[in-house]
Amino acid sequence: MDLKLIKNILDLISESDVNEVSIEEGDFKIKVKKQSDAAAPLHYQATVPHPAASPSQPAAPEAKPEAAKSAEPKPAGEVVKSPIVGTFYEASSPDSDPFVSVGQRVESGQTLCIIEAMKIMNEIEAEFSGTVEKVLVSNASPVEFDQPLFIIKKD
């Protein structure tokens, strides 16, 4: 098929209301789908900031999180977060000891836990040396991307 003919077909499709075209000529096949209108997602995003429309409401919600933060003291240290969605395991097998425990010193590169994702065991390693202050997830529980797993106080 001639490239000029293909270009003409693409131009005609872009100017028409047709969303999809499939052409077969001998062993040559081409299928063209129009991309959805990019303005549609922007329309949905414009409706998101509903709470900001009412000026009296932001003052009250801001006070509540501050009160919650002051009620719960934040442990000193760096938060180690999950790089993937999966299942958290504190040991390599149910019979094994946990990789780390509270109060234990860890070195950079040391395995902290395993996160199973799609039947693949992913070892999560410490990115820095320090002492484990808190384990934030219980064994065999599901974790989300960027969910805090450990608090480690850097050396």
Domains in the chain (CATH in brackets) are: 1-51 (no CATH), 78-154 (2.40.50.100)
Of the given ranges (37-46, 104-113, 142-151), which has the lowest mean pLDDT? 37-46
Of the given ranges (48-52, 82-86, 132-136), which has the lowest mean pLDDT? 48-52
For residue 8, is pLDDT > 80?
A: no
Task: State the pTM of this model.
Answer: 0.53
Report H helices in the chain: 3-15, 39-46, 59-71
Share of the chain above pLDDT 70, in %: 70
Which residue, among 94, 115, 106, has the nearest Cα to 151 in the 3D structure?
106
pLDDT band at 71 (very low <50, low <70, confident <90, very high): low
List % helix, strand, coil for the chain (3-state, nearest 5): 25, 30, 45
Beta-sheet strands, E only, within 18-98: 20-25, 28-33, 78-81, 86-89
Spatial contact of 152 and 132, defined as CB atoms under 8 Å apart: yes
pLDDT (mean) for 50-61: 51
For residue 47, is pLDDT > 90?
A: no
pLDDT band at 38 (very low <50, low <70, confident <90, very high): very low
pLDDT band at 6 (very low <50, low <70, confident <90, very high): confident
pLDDT band at 11 (very low <50, low <70, confident <90, very high): confident
For residue 84, is pLDDT > 60?
A: yes
For residue 143, is pLDDT > 70?
A: yes
pLDDT (mean) for 141-145: 96
